[in-house]
Amino acid sequence: MSANAPVIDKGNLFDTLRAMVAIDSVNPSLVPGGRGEADIAAWLGERMTALVLEVEVTEIAPSRYNAVGILRGTGGGRSLLLNGHTDTVGVEGMTIPPFLGDYRDGRLYGRGTMDMKGGVAAQLAAVKALVDAGLRPKGDVILGFVADEEYASLGTEVLLRTVRADAGIVCEPTDLGVCVAHKGFVWARVDVAGVAAHGSRPLEGVDAIVKAGKFLAELEALEERLKERTHPLLGAPSVHASTIRGGRELSTYPDFCRIELERRTLPGENSALVERELQTILREIRSRDNNFRANLEMLFSRPPLEVDPSLPIVEALRGACSHVLGRIPDFSGMSGWLDSALLAEAGIPTVIFGPTGYGLHGAEEFVEFDSVVATAGVLAETILTFCGS
């Protein structure tokens, strides 16, 4: 480690995080009328410019922005992408002021403090610590602050059209653990057809909702079978019926019922596997019921992630944890989906590491500020180790 070791500016980090929380960046794809990422991307662009990074703030869709900053290396080192999303879910039903940044008992409260403005602030603070210490890594350090992770990850998709790196770190909250795996997901829709008829004429009607019930019963059986598959860090995959809609009025046999579902996937599973599972269910029901008519539509999917724990970025991160935290954290997995899977799919080995908090998407959300400081310190050490100094 250099004699000019990077030191995290805690006061600046606190002010940075609190200012970010005060900027409404609710995802408009989730909440109609949400502010989006324009304001926070512009603010981050100004902060990165002040650090003399190469900065580009880009509109990727109407009112949706990415902010990217690059600390150019001196040459000969590996490049590292620090990725974080700036959008949040909505604030309806919150029991605390969502944008105030109230600080109590070591916790900073507000929407996005944990998911994931705390991680973004830590990434910015880590680079600031290097700049303040006059430390320039050999490889480039890229700050990729992106839009829309909470909906369809448009921001990271656009980022990866132009940005490449030798490795990546996504600073979603991990309780200062090293996350090397997470689940993926598949969304699908099943439309079940019936025959509309007067409720007093059962010989003329076919009840689409009752027919859909047969599919739901088989979906429950699939859920039980999935419990037999396990991953050491992620547990079992799962499936659930997310929404159901059908029928016209009480006195009419329903001619239509729509079920939308989600299947959470493990490493090694994909959309094609899920489609086969669902088509098998439909085929078996048809074999037992000649009046069962249904159509399957695959809607959207994202892949799971599993990272080789022996990769250089993982080893560098764990070594930094040992130095900064005084311990080597265990490997962990996450049940939710993250942009890290897109980075890995693009050929950027990626690990997840971030602060501690509570209330993901909840009525009360906070981040433990000391854990944000620790995250920044670990990131700064990881940069020097992985990129070279």
* Same-domain status, 23 and 93: yes
Query: For the segment 153-177, what is each residue's pLDDT rounded down to a tens digit?
Result: 999 999 999 999 999 999 999 999 9
CA distances from 332 to 9, 301, 327 (A): 29, 23, 15
User: Which are the contacts of 142, defined by CB distance < 8 A and separation ≥ 6?
Assistant: 68, 69, 70, 71, 79, 80, 81, 82, 163, 165
CA distances from 167 to 19, 300, 317, 344, 347 (A): 29, 26, 11, 9, 9
Q: Which domain holds residue 214?
A: 184-302
* Same-domain status, 285 and 349: no
Average of pLDDT values for 216-242? 98
* Same-domain status, 135 and 268: no
CA-to-CA distance for 71 and 321, rounded, in angstroms? 22
Query: Strands across the sheet with 366-368, in order?
Result: 103-104, 107-109, 366-368, 357-358
* Same-domain status, 112 and 255: no
CA distances from 138 to 76, 254, 348, 351 (A): 6, 66, 18, 21
Q: Is residue 246 part of a domain?
A: yes
| CATH assignment of the domain containing 359 | 3.40.630.10
pTM: 0.93
Q: Which of 165, 116, 123 is nearest to 143 (CA)?
A: 123
Alpha helices (runs of H) in 172-245, residue ranges in sequence order: 208-226
Q: Phi and psi for 318 in degrees, rounded to 5?
A: -65, -35
Q: Is residue 126 part of a domain?
A: yes
Average of pLDDT values for 229-256? 97
Query: For the segment 331-349, what is each residue's pLDDT rounded down to a tens digit?
Result: 999 999 999 999 999 999 9
* Same-domain status, 190 and 282: yes
DSSP structure class, residue 206: B
What is the domain count for the chain?
2
Q: Which of 388, 43, 309, 216 is nearest to 35 (CA)?
A: 43
Q: Which of 151, 187, 211 is nearest to 296 (CA)?
A: 187
Q: Is residue 270 part of a domain?
A: yes
* Same-domain status, 116 and 239: no
User: Which are the contacts of 183, defined by CB distance < 8 A and separation ≥ 6?
Assistant: 234, 237, 264, 265, 266, 304, 333, 334, 335, 336, 337
At 1, is the pLDDT very low, low, confident or very high (cuts 50, 70, 90)?
very low
Average of pLDDT values for 214-232? 97
Question: Quick one: CA dihedral 356, 358, 362, 364, positive or negative?
Answer: negative
Q: Is residue 130 part of a domain?
A: yes
Average of pLDDT values for 51-55? 97
Q: Is residue 368 part of a domain?
A: yes
- Statement: residue 2 has pLDDT above 60: no
User: Which are the contacts of 4, defined by CB distance < 8 A and separation ≥ 6?
Assistant: 133, 134, 135
Mean pLDDT of the chain: 97
Q: Is residue 293 part of a domain?
A: yes
